Amino acid sequence: MKSRERVLKAINFEEPDRVPIDLGGTTGASGIHVSAYHKLKKHLGLSSNPVKCNDIMQQLAEIEEEILELLHVDVVQISPTSLEKNWKAYPLFKAHDTLLPGKLNLKKENGIWTLTDKQQRKFIKPDESLYFDSEDGTGWFSPEFKLSDENLESLRKCASNLYGSTDYAIAAKFGGGFGDINNPEFLMDLITEPEKANDAMDKHCDKLIEKYKLLNEAVGEYAFCVIFTNDLGSQNAPLISPGLFRETIMLHYKKFTDWLHSETNFKLYLHCCGAVEPLIESFIEMGVDILNPIQTSANGMEPEKLKSKYGGRIVFWGGGCDTQHVLGARPTEEAVEHAKERIKILAPGGGFIFNQIHAIQPAVLPEAICAVFDAAYQFGKYPVNQA
């Protein structure tokens, strides 16, 4: 079975030949830090050329064809960086250079890398740091991408070529979500000025619909999902009560998903970290098709519980290996057994794509990465052994 067919079967709650595998094909949570990726390439005897980075804040690698094949990955993404032609190598880390889009306003002064965006917001990375962070602690750097006719036509050609020349399932990563949960003022507005908050989200929804109308025309016949991000959970509980969520943010999601499902063939893939089990029923009701990263290390997110309550109603994209306490923190043999146990719980009946719970961090050994993904490939073949 080819990758595209395998993924489509799984997200429609059918059992393909094996559990599909993702590494860096959807959200940042599905990816791998450029330093871990550099060591992985060296371990596999591949070229040590500088690694392309498609997520500057988290310093995540663009996965190359050789790695996709060796780790049996089934998914790739199309995003604004798919059109980038001008890459520049930066010595962000001592062990290797990193390729970033060449037109960035990125400078180093007094041992600190500073990235400035069009709004003059600054994002900093000291030499010793593994990531970029916003200077004020709240923002997120995203490359500027205009939905011009020229860019949309280039996207269409890129997606068409990728679809025609490979068998990968293609995810469209162009951003989306509702409510600035990291902003205390927004959270206060939900309580003290709900009309103001709802009006802002309603206008934002209209803009998202217009945006995805254009993207659907460009890549709709090639990509199977669009990716939204709303981190609504802490380690112990949701950041917003289920009742308030339903009265506010959920309404705007449903307006968008009603349009998405009636006017396009896209599935809605929602990245939402943390202890969000109390919100999952609402996610299903508002039209979320796929949930990531399934942070089973958070309170109330036990995989057996999730499979029992929500299996067959929402796709579990992730949950395959805990990056918080296992991958990189425990011996490789334990990580492999852990991944096999997760497959045994989440895979039956389809609706599961294997992916580590969040981005693979720099200290994770390449041997452990290979072992876990090989276990997903070998043990994930249907029918999954539940003995």
- Asked if 386 and 351 touch (Cβ cutoff 8 Å), the reply is no
pLDDT at 184 (0 to 100): 86
Q: What is the pLDDT of residue 144?
A: 79
Least confident of 18-22, 47-51, 294-298, 341-345: 47-51
Res 33: pLDDT: 98
Question: Averaged over 129-142, what is the pLDDT?
Answer: 89
Percent of the chain with pLDDT over 70: 99
- Say which residues have a Cβ less than 8 Å from residue 242's Cβ, sequence separation at least 6: 278, 279, 282
Query: Angle at which helices 332-346 and 303-310 pack, to 10 degrees?
Result: 20
pLDDT tens-place string over residues 227-266: 999 999 999 999 999 999 999 999 999 999 999 999 999 9
Which architecture does CATH list for 3-86+144-379? Alpha-Beta Barrel (3.20)
Give the residue-averaged pLDDT of 113-126. Answer: 94
Question: Residue 64: which region, alpha, beta or left (left: phi > 0; alpha: psi -120 to 50)?
Answer: beta
Give the tens place of pLDDT for each residue, 69-99: 999 999 999 999 999 999 999 999 999 999 9
Q: Which two tokens stand for residue 319?
A: 């949950």
Mean pLDDT of 5-21: 98
Residue 374 has pLDDT above 60, yes or no: yes
Evaluate if residue 138 carries a pLDDT over 80.
Answer: no
CA distance 296 to 302: 5
307-347 pLDDT, tens per residue?
Answer: 999 999 999 999 999 999 999 999 999 999 999 999 999 99
In tens, the pLDDT along 46-64 reads: 987 899 999 999 999 999 9
Please state, in angstroms and rounded to a whole number, the distance separating the CA atoms of residues 61 and 25. 11
**Could you give the 3-state DSSP secondary structure of residue 107?**
strand
Beta bridge partners of 172: 78, 226
Contact 253, 288 (CB under 8 A): yes
Query: If 0-12 CB within 10 Å is exposed, 13-18 middle and 19+ buried, where does residue 236 land?
Result: exposed
pLDDT over threshold 70, residue 386: no
Query: Per-residue pLDDT for 145 more than 90?
Result: no
> For residue range 261-292, what is the model confidence (pLDDT) as tens digits?
999 999 999 999 999 999 999 999 999 999 99
Q: Region 125-130: what's the mean pLDDT?
A: 94
The answer, yes or no, to whether residue 376 has pLDDT greater than 80, is yes
Contacts of 302 (CB under 8 A, 6+ apart): 296
Strand partners, 87: 101
The predicted pLDDT at position 348 comes to: 97
HSE-CB at 383 with a 13 A cutoff on CA atoms is: 3
Q: What is the pLDDT of residue 147?
A: 93
Task: Please state the domain extents for the chain.
Answer: 3-86+144-379
Preceding omega of 91 cis (within 30 degrees of 0): no
pLDDT at residue 180, as a whole number: 84
**Each residue of 158-209: pLDDT tens digit?**
999 999 999 999 999 999 999 888 788 998 999 999 999 999 999 999 999 9
